[in-house]
Amino acid sequence: MSTAMSTVLPSGSGLPALLGIAAVAAALANMVNNLPATLVLLPLVSASGPAAVLAVLIGVNIGPNLTYVGSLSNLLWRRVLRSHHVEAGVGEYTRLGLCTVPTALLAAVLALWASVQLLGV
């Protein structure tokens, strides 16, 4: 998996690279869960510097809110809701995720990029 991921991951700390890294991290987190995604991606981007590492962390923390399986906390949250007889269907969850996750991901990466530009990290 690491070899496949290294071919799709952008390198560098420019805005397009950071957006790409965060998007790949978010997509992978929704496919395999955020913890294994973090373990796969961090070694691959660490050579690109702290901004790339932070972009991965943004992607694997915000991105999993698109699907229930993206994060263990999502699954635990759903279980708590069910224990209180509250249903949050997959369709509703996904619709809300599609409305909020891309915007939050973009805002977080823009803030990261601006911080890198201002602070020179």
Reported as a single tens digit per residue, the pLDDT across 10-37 is 888 899 999 999 999 999 999 998 999 9
Q: What is the pLDDT of residue 93?
A: 85
pLDDT higher than 70, residue 2: no
**Per mean pLDDT, which range of 5-14, 36-45, 50-59, 95-104 is the poorest?**
5-14
CA separation for the pair 66, 51 (Å, rounded): 23
- Written as six digits, the tokens of 78 are 């759903």
DSSP H helical segments within the chain, as ranges? 2-8, 15-32, 34-45, 50-62, 72-83, 90-119
What is the average pLDDT value for the chain, to the nearest integer?
90
How confident is the model over 116-121, as a mean pLDDT?
A: 88
**Per mean pLDDT, which range of 9-23, 43-57, 75-89 is the poorest?**
75-89
Q: State which amino acid sits at residue 44.
A: L
CB neighbourhood size of 110 (10 A)? 13
How confident is the model over 95-116, as a mean pLDDT?
A: 96
